[in-house]
Structure 1
Amino acid sequence: MNGTPDSESGTRPRRGGRPAEGQPVVDRAFALLGAFDSDHRALSLADLARRSDVPRSSALRLARSLVHVGALERLDDGRFVVGLRLLETASLAPRGHGLRAVAMPYMEDLFHVTRQHVLLAVRDRGEALLVERLSALDASPVRYRVGGRLPLASTGVGLVLLAFAPAAVREHAVTAYTPEHGDDDIRTPADLRRALAEVRRGDHAVGRQSHPWRLSTVAAPVRDGDEVVAALSVVAPSSGFPDAGYGPAVRATARAVSRRLSQDGGRPAPLEGL
């Protein structure tokens, strides 16, 4: 799930081939940064050029520039890694760390009640982007990581975000849907359409999956006024999953975050003492 969609429909730029003639430098720079993911945290110059589809000579020049400004760092063995300058800049994103600053106290309360995975995600065009995750040491394994991307059509937070997305985004997702590892009850486009309608009616999503682990989830929308800006969920083992207990807790937490966002005018409160 790497890369960034280039339209609200979720279409991504093609990886294959060389950069288009006259492609702006900033596009090639972001192509280099986009070559990194959770399975490729350190890349040689050859791998960086190959995964970004940028010619090796251009990749070297751009990588040196990015190292100079701190967006990349170079290890002793010559490989490149993402630099701390990007973390510093990303911390200013209101839909990321800003939202997290507002939601975190409520997420911590929910975490202490459930002792499971508590997720907060926003929609980034055709995918869900995980903003925060709290997990107990003995919680069931999941593949989700902060900053990682999740499919909209087969995760609890994704279903909530998709259900309240613009109609064109929902329709594209339904039309393009194919079964994948995800919710056991959504196997066809018609299933997805019904599931999204149920989420809108009930203002929450309930999902279950059996692969690669047997997990269940309850997710609810976080609003800033009338707009759904994020989704909050609990993910736990399906065995003994207490729908009746987790559901109200997740919905109450999402409403509390929504009220705080509205009170703050959509702006995160300042973090005192930091």
Structure 2
Amino acid sequence: MTNNAGASRAARGRRPPQGEPVIDRAFALLTAFTEDRRSLTLAELSRVTGTPPSTTLRLARRLVHWGALERDADGRYVVGLRLWEVASLAPRAHGLRRVALPYMEDLYEATHQHVLLAVRDGTDALLVERLSAHAAIDVLYRVGGRLPLHSTGVGLVLLAHAEPDFQDEVLAQALTHEPEGVPLSSAALRRSLAEIRGTGVAVVNRAEPVPLHAVAAPVRGADGEVVAALSVVVPAGHAEPRVLAPALRATARALSRSLGAVTGPPAPAQGSLLRRR
């Protein structure tokens, strides 16, 4: 009987094969929040995550105590500032953003629209910084948001310089050009990626939800690998991509050199789009 009791205690104390469930459930609560779900009640948290209400309450209280969650004036749960504090320490975002901001500000002053900086994270482009004018056109991108690799300027640059196996994995999917929902052939996308590598820029002309041009260029790190993509997004008719491209390439190269990359001499910016550094 003693042996059976010991075996029972051992079984109860043994961790499940896929990790600690408490941690998994806590992360599930945090990832329940999205752009369209910025605040949730306890019942909604339980339903979205499939976690029992009693467990949801216990975990939510601990997350509030730690600062990962907060309660708003209506008692609903929202993401806490402690998460932002921790996330700001991520070296791929924070260090890159600190070095990139002066260069982004140059492009912002030249265009007074949107300047984006993104890195590849899994199968998405993750926006780590955005400078935007008050009167800039509406875009669907926010800092911390994810962008498709195959239909955005920064995404195409990151995809064009990704590993061949990764490119093949993306190209094997049924892709549509977002947000228009137009089917995109893998052969056409492969040609576009080759052109981006050849010209040094990606150009996306979009008609919806508003007509715009997006021009993006690669940013390289000390090892010469592409670590980010820099982009400007302007309304159609504001500036032609052929005018934006040289300035964007020059700025991306200057930023790359600040990150330790060895690059060729900067190409002169055309016209007065960009002041000289």
TM-score (norm 2): 0.83
- Identify if the C-alpha distance between structure 1 residues 249 and 201 changes in structure 2 by more than 3 Å, giving closer, same or farther: same
Given that 2:206 and 2:213 are in contact with CA atoms closer than 8 Å, whether structure 1 keeps it comes out as yes
Alignment check: 8 A CA contact 1:71 1:82 kept:
yes
Shift of 1:53: 3.0
Q: Give SS of 2:230's match.
A: strand
CA distance in 1, matches of 2:219, 2:131: 17
Amino acid at match of 2:168: E
Higher relative contact order (CA 8 A, sep 6+): 1
Query: Does the aligned pair in 2 maintain the 1:184–1:209 contact within 8 Å?
Result: no
CA distance in 1, matches of 2:74, 2:172: 47
Instruction: Say which of 246, 257, 269 aligns to 2:255.
Output: 257
Match of 1:192 in 2: 189
1:202 corresponds to 2:205: no
C-alpha distance 184-70 of structure 1, shift in aligned 2 (>3 A): closer
Residue number in structure 2 paired with 1:6 = none
Closer, same or farther: CA 21–220 of 1 in aligned 2, 3 Å? closer
Spell out the pairing of 1:1-274 with structure 2 (5 A cutoff).
Answer: 24-182=21-179, 187-225=184-222, 226-262=224-260
User: Share of identical aligned residues, percent?
Assistant: 58
Structure 2 unaligned runs (5+)? Answer: 1-16, 262-277
8 Å Cα contact 2:157/2:196 also seen in 1: yes
Residue type of the partner of 1:117? H
Say if 1:22 and 1:260 are closer, same or farther in 2 by CA, change over 3 A.
Answer: closer
Deviation at 1:240, TM superposition (A): 4.6
Q: Quickly say closer, same or farther: Cα 1:182–1:171, change in 2 above 3 A.
A: farther
Q: Give the whole-Å Cα distance in 2 for the aligned partners of 1:185 and 1:58.
A: 43
Taking the aligned partners of 1:241 and 1:51, their CA distance within structure 2 comes to 44
CA distance in 1, matches of 2:180, 2:194: 16
Aligned residues: 244
Is the radius of gyration larger for structure 1 or structure 2? 2
The alpha carbon displacement at 1:69 in A equals: 0.6
- Write the distance in 1 (CA, Å) between the matches of 2:251 and 2:48: 40
- Indicate conservation of the 8 Å contact 1:91/1:98, yes or no: no
User: Aligned partners of 2:123, 2:100: CA distance in 1, in Å?
Assistant: 23
Task: Call closer, same or farther: CA 1:177–1:256 in 2, change over 3 Å.
Answer: farther
Counterpart secondary structure, 2:135: coil
Task: Name the SS for the 2:85 alignment partner.
Answer: helix
1:203 & 1:132 partners in 2: Cα distance? 21
User: 1:234 is matched by which residue type in structure 2?
Assistant: V
| Contact residue 110 and residue 118 of structure 1 kept, 8 A | yes
- TM-score by length of structure 1 reads 0.84
- 4+ residue segments displaced more than 6 Å: 183-186
Q: Distance in 1 between matches of 2:169 and 2:248?
A: 28
